[in-house]
């Protein structure tokens, strides 16, 4: 009798523990919750537009906002996030190359945020004085991207072999003797009062109230290779929740949101699925 009672109690305990585990928290990796890191503008806003589509499938989207271009990848690699959405593929490729312990993959392009040149001092880039100071992002991919935009505007010429990874050391012609001030991308908009012009990523431009389509002296066009992507840890590409996230971001509803909200400052880079 005692043995039977012990077996019954043991069975109850096992069931209780199992139920407790089923009620545990829903952090990164939970089958019904996606934790996605993003820049506040426009990435987090675009994710908010995708939320209702995921909720219809029983998936809760938790958005974690970041103010820099380093922490979202570190957090993804350490499994604090299921995915992130803040960067273009050239940046991701360079980041992974510099961090040999990371295995992060792009799983879908969403939009292009054209980088632009802004100024409070001149109305036209040809008005820049000799020796004028130009602020640039200091990370390898966005720095090269900024220099390529200045080259396209006719202000400088770069060594053709530098490609997307051009640095200020690859400037081979600089008729105006422009002086380049390199700083973190998030700090570039704050430099506008102190420099003649600044090359600013669109997410940071929008964050300080700049309107790229109206205020940029020049913008990247649709030939830009810098499509913003969703990134995940290698091996997670086929998770149903990740696929659902990408499908939601590629939906007609999200495309229309981007067109209506950003009016050309952000350009969809996908076709509806």
Over the chain (273 residues), the average pLDDT of each successive run of 10 is: 47 41 41 91 97 97 96 98 96 94 96 94 97 96 94 97 95 98 96 98 91 92 86 97 98 96 89 61
pLDDT at residue 1 in the model: 47
pLDDT at residue 213 in the model: 86
pLDDT at residue 45 in the model: 97
Instruction: Let me know: does 67 contact 186? Beta carbons within 8 Å.
Output: yes
What is the C-alpha to C-alpha distance for residues 236 and 80, in angstroms, rounded to an integer? 14
pLDDT at residue 264 in the model: 84
In degrees, rounded to 5, the angle at the alpha carbon of residue 46 between the alpha carbons of residues 250 and 38 is: 110
Q: Which of 31, 78, 76 is nearest to 57 (CA)?
A: 31
């Amino acid at each position: 009798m005692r043995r039977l009672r012990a077996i019954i109690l043991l069975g109850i305990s096992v069931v209780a523990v199992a139920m407790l585990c089923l009620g545990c928290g829903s952090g990164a990796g939970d089958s019904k919750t996606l934790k996605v890191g993003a820049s506040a503008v426009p990435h987090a806003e675009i994710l908010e537009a995708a939320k209702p589509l995921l909720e219809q499938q029983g998936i809760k989207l938790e958005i974690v906002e970041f103010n820099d271009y380093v922490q979202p990848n570190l957090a993804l690699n350490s499994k604090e996030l299921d995915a992130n959405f803040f960067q273009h593929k050239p940046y991701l490729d360079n980041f992974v190359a510099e961090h040999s312990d990371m295995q992060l993959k792009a799983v879908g392009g969403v939009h292009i945020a054209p980088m632009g040149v802004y100024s409070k001092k001149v109305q036209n880039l040809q008005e820049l004085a000799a020796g004028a100071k130009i602020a640039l992002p200091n990370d390898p991919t966005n720095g090269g991207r900024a220099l390529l935009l200045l080259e396209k505007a006719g202000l400088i010429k770069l060594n053709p072999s530098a490609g997307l990874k051009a640095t200020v050391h690859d400037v081979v012609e600089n008729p105006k003797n422009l002086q380049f001030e390199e700083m973190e991308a998030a700090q570039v908009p704050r430099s506008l009062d102190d420099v003649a012009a600044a090359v600013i990523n669109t997410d940071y431009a929008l964050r300080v109230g700049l309107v790229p389509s109206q205020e940029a002296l020049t913008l990247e066009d649709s030939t830009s290779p810098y499509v913003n992507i969703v990134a995940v840890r290698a091996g997670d590409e086929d998770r149903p929740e990740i696929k659902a996230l990408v499908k939601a971001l590629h939906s007609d509803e999200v495309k229309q949101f981007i067109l209506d909200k950003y009016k050309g400052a952000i350009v969809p880079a996908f076709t509806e699925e």
